[in-house]
Chains A and B, each alone.
Chain A
């Protein structure tokens, strides 16, 4: 199998949330259907306030903005979404 797909999730992971762990599960379900491998990495919103944002996000093949507001950093979340929008990176926000 080729290198796994890299999906970055913008959001503050909380294992107790009813909605966040489901993201990883749902990516697995979809990847199985497409017969591809996908790896997921959580990107905490406060870690997105960084001058090397383009490099950090650019390694991902797709970005998913997760739910869970209030975020640790609303501004960080917006910057992540802005990267996807301006640089035309595959994006889903739920």
Chain B
């Protein structure tokens, strides 16, 4: 994705020279025993102004649920941006929490888990927009015959 040949994750290969995915640097203080280092609600996720995410949430700060031990190594932020992605959400200390690809019809990856805060009658805005994009694509790809 970034053109780094030996890119790896600290979970798979802690000795790789290019650890793009590294252990969480700042664990949540109230994590339950045996839970991942970053788990539970994080109140202050900052959404980048002008991003797709901001359009979906219609807010500049959101609360999200996490359940993870690894995050994007900040040393690779420049490479991520050069590869055409935007940092769409950040944690309190500027940590990368979601990226999006502005040139793509819909490409969003987040460290948080929107599925955990979705409720009947109160779906998560990212998932609503994902389905909306998929629905549009369903029609377009049938018309274009893109796979033929």
Q: Which residues of A contact B (CB under 8 A)?
A: 5-7, 18-19, 22-23, 25-27, 29-34, 36, 38, 54-55, 58, 61-62, 64-65, 67, 69-70, 74, 81-82, 84-85, 87-94
Min CB–CB distance B58 → chain A (angstroms): 15
Closest chain B residue to A24, Cβ basis: B115
Instruction: Determine whether B94 belongs to the interface, using a CB cutoff of 8 Å to chain A.
Output: no
Instruction: Determine whether B3 belongs to the interface, using a CB cutoff of 8 Å to chain A.
Output: no
Interface of B is mostly: mixed
Known: A91-B104, A92-B126. A70 touches B11 (CB 8 A): yes
- Partner of A62 from the list B1, B118, B121, B133 (CB cut-off 8 Å) is B133
Q: Which residues of B contact A (CB under 8 A)?
A: 1, 9, 11-12, 67-68, 70, 101, 104-110, 112-116, 118-124, 126-128, 130-135, 137-138, 141, 146-147
Min CB–CB distance B11 → chain A (angstroms): 6
Closest chain B residue to A70, Cβ basis: B11
- Partner of A65 from the list B12, B109, B116, B147 (CB cut-off 8 Å) is B109
Known: A62-B134, A93-B110. A70 touches B12 (CB 8 A): yes
- Partner of B128 from the list A6, A30, A69 (CB cut-off 8 Å) is A30
- Partner of B133 from the list A18, A26, A85, A90 (CB cut-off 8 Å) is A90
Q: Is the CB of B131 within 8 A of A38?
A: yes
Closest chain B residue to A84, Cβ basis: B107
Min CB–CB distance A76 → chain B (angstroms): 13
Q: Is the CB of B133 within 8 A of A22?
A: no
Q: Is the CB of B130 within 8 A of A62?
A: yes
Q: Is the CB of A23 within 8 A of B115?
A: yes
**A54 to B108, alpha carbons, bound, how many Å?**
21
- Partner of B118 from the list A29, A34, A65, A70 (CB cut-off 8 Å) is A29
**A7 to B118, alpha carbons, bound, how many Å?**
17
Q: Is the CB of A5 within 8 A of B135?
A: yes
Q: Is the CB of A30 within 8 A of B109?
A: no
Task: List 9 A–B pairs whose Cβ atoms lie within 8 Å, in order of A's numbering.
Answer: A19-B115, A22-B115, A29-B123, A62-B106, A62-B133, A74-B9, A82-B1, A88-B104, A92-B130
